[in-house]
Amino acid sequence: ALQIANCRVRATPMLSLFSAAAAFNGPALVPAMRSPAVNMKFEGEIGVTPPLGVWDPLNLLEEPVKYPRRDYRRYVELEIKHGRIAMLACTGIFTTEAGFRWPGYLSKSLDLKFADIPGGPVDSWAAIPTLGWFQIVGFVVFLELAYGQQDPNKEPGDIGGPSWIRYENPDVKAYKLNIERNNGRAAMMGITGMLVHNWIGVDALYPIVGSN
């Protein structure tokens, strides 16, 4: 009986500590990690992936839609388009920073070769002549008007013709579209970082590439 009493005495502080720890780590902390404004009706859509899930700090999902906000589909279309442009921009910087250039002259009259154009977004913008930028902008506007218009009867981002790759398997399709959406988001963050690097006077890929 004395041994049992001693065991009870020894177990009591341990149980007290366990209870205190359990109270400290209880479910009371969980609601603090969740935002009450999160609207879960879009859970499972393309682009809704871990770890954020449905994250809407600007209340873009709020209904009814009031001016100047646009409907949710329009924001999806813009995100896809900007993500694709950002991926192309990052690819261009990676290739030029790696040393790949078009052969020949960018401007014969200015004796400016493609090899003379730096790889950074701000540096390359400053190096290209004004007439060259008019040509670039004009070409982009042509592509936007000729091929970039979104058909409201098609899914957001589906702007291609018959040669556009479309997946019949819904699981494969969702997987590929989620990859594109997340890569586009990463590219938008990446090109923003490269712009900031150039603005503060270092290489776009710093610290991978040393300062200018």
Counting DSSP H helices and E strands in the chain, the numbers are 5, 2
Instruction: Name the amino acid, one letter, at 60.
Output: L
Tell me if 190 sits within 8 A of 88, measured CB to CB.
no
Q: Whole-model pTM above 0.85?
A: no
- The sign of the CA dihedral 122, 126, 127, 130 is positive
The tens-digit pLDDT sequence of the chain (212 residues) is: 434 434 444 444 444 433 443 443 444 444 444 433 434 456 678 888 877 777 778 777 787 877 777 888 888 999 999 999 999 999 999 999 888 999 999 998 999 999 999 888 998 989 999 999 999 999 999 988 888 888 888 888 888 777 788 888 989 999 999 999 999 999 999 999 999 999 998 888 887 776 54
Distance, CA of 43 to CA of 49 (rounded, Å):
9
The 10 Å Cβ neighbour count of residue 77 is 19
Q: At what angle do helices 170-199 and 72-97 cross, to 10 degrees?
A: 60
